[in-house]
Amino acid sequence: MPSFRSQKTDRSQKPEKKAIEEIVVRVFRCATVVRGGRRFSFGALVVAGDRKGRVGIGYGKSVEVPSAVEKGKKIATKEMVPIKLVRGTLPHRVIGRYGASKVVMLPASAGTGVIAGASVRAVLELAGVHDVLTKSYGSNGAKNLVRATLAGLRQLVSREEVEELRGVRLAGGRG
């Protein structure tokens, strides 16, 4: 009969989950004026991803920064969605829109790197994109840019899906 100790070590030898990384894009401070002065609260915009085609964003709010970041991480991990990539870049040009922000993302050749601002870069890098060109238009707020980038990535379709939808075989191209 196995002892309690051996059962405990068996549990610790379970295969680990995929390594999920998080980046805190921005911490927002909010103040409300009350009779005794100002009361501050914080919001943390967090991006989580496995760098293998899954990414999510979360916005956690709390009275303290560490708990806001922790809430943001939890939400971002729970909200992760799969992204279709082709050899470390995007399968095609895509435009993501959210609110007053617009992000244009173009596939790039190998070795180009991620050419993007800080907010957009966080989403693309944690999604596993290695080579991409981006340009943002409109509002440059971190919340809108991150959501616009994710909206654009969710629009991506693979070559096989396009062929199946159209019922034809696509000729030429990269993919």
Range with the poorest average pLDDT among 30-39, 114-123, 151-160, 166-175: 166-175
Residue 129 sits in the same domain as residue 93: yes
Looking at the chain, the whole-number percentage of residues with pLDDT higher than 70 is: 88
Q: Is residue 66 part of a domain?
A: yes
Amino acid at residue number 137: Y
**Structural domains in the chain (count):** 2
Q: What pLDDT digit, counting tens, does each position of 126-147 carry? A: 999 999 999 999 999 999 999 9
Instruction: DSSP for 98-163, please give it.
Output: ETTEEEEEEE--TT--EE--HHHHHHHHHHT--SEEEEEEE---HHHHHHHHHHHHHT---HHHHH
Q: Which of 30, 51, 81 is the last residue of a domain?
A: 81
Q: Is residue 101 part of a domain?
A: yes
Instruction: DSSP for 43-75, please give it.
Output: EEEEEEE-SSSEEEEEEEEESSHHHHHHHHHHH
Give burial (CB, 10 Å; 0-12/13-18/19+) of 2.
exposed
Q: Which domain holds residue 54?
A: 21-81
d(CA 150, CA 163): 24
Instruction: Report pTM.
Output: 0.83
Q: Is residue 50 part of a domain?
A: yes
Q: What pLDDT digit, counting tens, does each position of 35-83 carry? A: 999 999 999 999 999 999 999 999 999 999 999 999 999 999 999 999 9
Residue 148 sits in the same domain as residue 88: yes
